[in-house]
């Protein structure tokens, strides 16, 4: 752990920048986790009335219902943080690399006067987006800045905007977490039930597909370090081996791996290792019969669905437009020696969650969710390449829309 302190010059520059701001927004990232700085970050926010947005790596460190916590920010974030981010005149980035998803391709911070302040042990990340850099440990720097700003009697100019954004988004997340389709099961509802019924100190692990977006928007953590998302590279297949690693580190806690059917097919060999070592993990497998996240991305760029549904080759057309290939994931788990549950309804899910707490071997929940039942985006843009020349009108329209949004992105 790099406990490098900030220099006096850096702290003075950062203090002056914050003093000049009326509407600062703090973004907490993975560096806050590594520095174990979440208490200092919370105290800093409370001392100066500064709202907080969370990256995937920084989520779950501060209670989800804290009055200043706006939740996930960016492409996979929620409405509250993204709304406030557009108004902010200063972004205080703490331990975050300000990646493409967090900044919505440098589009999110739309206040013409917005400035950037980055606290990071890595100089490469600290200077991103023309930031005023504080190259230091997050905990050390936040404590120093807190002392300096308290002596200046600083307080932000936010009034009821933060509470209004939180209130509106709470209503929206409650709605999304309680969608009851006429048939089948919604992914967002299943995720909400899991979140509500597992023990608060359980650790949720995720990595790829649509689930990280649903989780950053909807998952509610009340205990620090119970949310573990590998989203720096969205590594498909990480979820089960990552969950096993977490279980080795935290053997007394229940660990839940949130994995899509596509990611499970890529890699699940650590099921054997878990059984071999006598370690219990819980695999929450969301089966939507395809690469739902990628299909959404295809369609949003004007491209018709191709190769993203788990359908059989049609001998008549020669295309992958046949029937959905039925996969019994529970039977796969049972073949390993796991306890498995087949889930098609909320009642079956609730029963399985309670029953699994009494199991001593690894469990797998084969949760059949409706295709396309993941959460939508909340007013954030992601720059994805679109063909400039195309015969398809939908693709041409997508290219024109991309060009229009590029003009809103900041040049750094």
CATH code of the domain covering residue 244: 3.40.50.970
Does residue 14 sit in the same domain as residue 95?
yes
Provide the CA 23 distance to its chain's centre, in angstroms.
24
Does residue 234 sit in the same domain as residue 346?
yes
Does residue 26 sit in the same domain as residue 134?
yes
Q: Is residue 227 part of a domain?
A: yes
Q: By the 8 A CB rule, do 210 and 187 touch? A: yes
In the predicted structure, residue 405 carries a pLDDT above the cut 80: yes
Q: Is residue 123 part of a domain?
A: yes
What is the pLDDT, as a whole number, of residue 157? 98
Q: Determine the average pLDDT of the residues in 146-165.
A: 97
d(CA 183, CA 187): 13
User: pLDDT over 90 for what percent of the chain?
Assistant: 91
In the predicted structure, residue 231 carries a pLDDT above the cut 90: no
Tokens of 273: 């290792």
What is the pLDDT, as a whole number, of residue 3? 84
Q: Is residue 43 part of a domain?
A: yes
Does residue 249 sit in the same domain as residue 141?
no
Does residue 340 sit in the same domain as residue 219?
yes
Higher pLDDT, 268 or 412: 268
- Beta strands across the sheet bearing 52-54: 69-72, 52-54, 24-28, 90-94, 115-120, 132-135
Does residue 138 sit in the same domain as residue 277?
no
Q: Is residue 378 part of a domain?
A: no
Does residue 244 sit in the same domain as residue 104?
no
Task: Look over the chain and give the mean of its residue pLDDT values, rounded to a whole number.
Answer: 95
Q: Give, for 268, the enclosing helix (H) or strand (E).
A: none
Q: Is residue 41 part of a domain?
A: yes
In the predicted structure, residue 1 carries a pLDDT above the cut 70: no
DSSP class of 369: -
How many structural domains comprise the chain? 2
Q: Is residue 207 part of a domain?
A: yes
Q: pLDDT for 192-210, tens place per residue? A: 999 999 999 999 999 999 9
Backbone angle region of 128, left / alpha / beta, with phi > 0 → left and psi within -120 to 50 → alpha? beta
Q: Is residue 295 part of a domain?
A: no
Q: Give, for 389, the enclosing helix (H) or strand (E).
A: none
Q: Is residue 314 part of a domain?
A: no
pLDDT interval class at 2 (50, 70, 90) = confident
Does residue 240 sit in the same domain as residue 339?
yes
Task: Give the domain range for residue 196.
Answer: 177-289+325-368
Does residue 229 sit in the same domain as residue 357?
yes
Question: Taking Cα atoms as reference points, which of 203, 207, 221, 186 lies closest to residue 372?
Answer: 186
Does residue 256 sit in the same domain as residue 197?
yes
Burial label, 98 (beta-carbon count in 10 A; 0-12, 13-18, 19+)? buried
Higher pLDDT, 162 or 297: 162
Residue 311 pairs in a beta bridge with: 324
Residue 203 pairs in a beta bridge with: 255
Question: Taking Cα atoms as reference points, which of 281, 283, 278, 308 lies closest to residue 294?
Answer: 308
What is the pLDDT, as a whole number, of residue 412? 75
Does residue 331 sit in the same domain as residue 201?
yes
What is the pLDDT, as a whole number, of residue 208? 92
CATH number at residue 138: 3.40.50.1220
Burial label, 157 (beta-carbon count in 10 A; 0-12, 13-18, 19+)? exposed
DSSP code string of 20-82: H-SSEEEEE-HHHHHTT-HHHHHHHHHHHT--EEE-TTTTTSS-TT-TTEEEE-STTS-HHHH
pTM of the shown model? 0.95
Return the minimum-mean-pLDDT range out of 66-70, 114-118, 143-147, 305-309.
305-309
Does residue 161 sit in the same domain as residue 250?
no
């Amino acid at each position: 752990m790099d406990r490098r302190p900030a220099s006096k010059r850096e702290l003075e520059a950062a203090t002056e920048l914050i003093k000049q701001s009326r509407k600062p927004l703090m973004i907490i990232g993975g560096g806050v986790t590594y520095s174990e700085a979440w208490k200092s970050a919370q105290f800093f926010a409370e001392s100066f009335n500064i709202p907080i947005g969370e990256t995937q790596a920084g989520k779950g460190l501060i209670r989800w219902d804290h009055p200043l916590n706006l939740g996930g920010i960016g492409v996979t974030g929620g409405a509250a943080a993204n709304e406030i981010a557009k108004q902010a005149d200063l972004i205080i980035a703490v331990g975050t690399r300000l990646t493409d998803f967090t900044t919505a391709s440098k589009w999110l911070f739309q206040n013409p006067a917005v400035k950037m302040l980055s606290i990071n042990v890595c100089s490469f990340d600290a200077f991103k987006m023309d930031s005023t850099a504080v190259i230091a440990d997050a905990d050390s720097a936040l404590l120093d800045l807190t002392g300096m700003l308290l002596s200046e009697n600083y307080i932000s100019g936010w009034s009821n905007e933060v509470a209004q954004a939180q209130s509106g988004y709470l209503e929206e997340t409650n709605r999304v977490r309680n969608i009851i389709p006429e048939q089948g099961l919604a992914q967002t509802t299943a995720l909400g039930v899991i979140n509500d019924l597992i023990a608060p100190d359980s650790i949720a692990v995720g990595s790829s597909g649509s689930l990280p977006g649903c989780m950053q928007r909807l998952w509610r953590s009340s205990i620090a370090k119970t949310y573990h998302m590998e989203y720096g590279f969205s590594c498909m297949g990480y979820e089960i081996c990552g969950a096993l690693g977490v279980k080795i580190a935290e053997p007394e806690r229940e660990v839940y791996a949130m994995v899509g059917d596509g990611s499970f097919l890529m890699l699940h060999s650590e099921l054997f290792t878990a059984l071999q070592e006598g370690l219990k993990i819980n695999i929450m497998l969301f089966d939507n019969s395809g690469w739902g996240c990628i299909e959404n991305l295809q369609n949003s760029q004007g491209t018709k669905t191709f190769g993203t549904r788990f359908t059989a080759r049609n001998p008549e057309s020669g295309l992958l437009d046949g029937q959905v290939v039925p996969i019994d994931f529970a039977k796969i788990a049972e073949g390993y020696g796991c306890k498995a549950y087949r889930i098609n309804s909320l009642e079956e899910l609730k029963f399985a969650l309670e029953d699994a707490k009494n199991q001593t071997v690894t469990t797998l929940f084969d949760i059949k969710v409706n295709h396309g039942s993941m959460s939508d985006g909340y007013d954030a843009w992601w720059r994805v390449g679109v063909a400039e020349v195309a015969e398809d009108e939908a693709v041409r329209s997508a290219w024109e829309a991309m060009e229009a949004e590029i003009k809103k992105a900041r040049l750094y």
